[in-house]
Amino acid sequence: MTEGQFRQENKVTNPFLYALELGYYAGLIWGAVRWIFYTLKFTRVVPGFLMEPFFKHEFLVTAAGQIAGWLSFIAFSVIASLIYVFLFRKLKGPWPGIIYGVIWWIVLYIALNPWLRFTPPVKKLTWDTNISEFCIFILWGLFIGYTAAQEFTDERMREPKQVTG
């Protein structure tokens, strides 16, 4: 088998394009889940909480503001996915992604919140809001981390195909 044939059969994934696609779907899916949680009143954090420093809260509670918030969560997910894919894509299993989601929750809700005022302080949010948001970020991180791990650490793709006789 020549090198050209090997490359044609075993395509190498472009990390940048993969991270863009992964982030888009992570934001699309988990942004929709956040929106559903907000609509069902599991959380009091508006879907557009990432845009809170830039827009008035009155706009973010409208339908247009919620759609804009969903789009901002997609953009945030693309950035987070790019970071994960370029720094941690070789980590195996679900735990790195879960930890990644927890770290982002801590960064957004505890570390940056006093300055950017995305949401009321965690101590002033209800238990159901805190638990819902924390769980969404765990699942969002798991989605990004485990999907990247499956793509970039799946050894079956690198094994030669068996020839049957």
- pLDDT tens-digit readout, 126-158: 999 999 999 999 999 999 999 999 998 875 655
With contact defined as beta carbons under 8 Å apart, do 19 and 77 qualify?
Answer: no
Tokens coding 59: 């706009």
- Tens digits of residue pLDDT in 62-112: 999 999 999 999 999 999 999 999 999 999 999 999 999 999 999 999 999
Q: What is the largest CA-CA distance in the chain?
A: 70
Q: How deeply is 8 buried, as exposed, middle or buried, from its count of CB atoms within 10 A (0-12, 13-18, 19+)?
A: exposed
List b or e across 69-97, with b for residues whose CB sees 16 or more CB atoms inside 10 angstroms.
bbbbbbbbbbebbbebbeebbebeeeebb
Instruction: Please tell me the pTM assigned to this model.
Output: 0.86
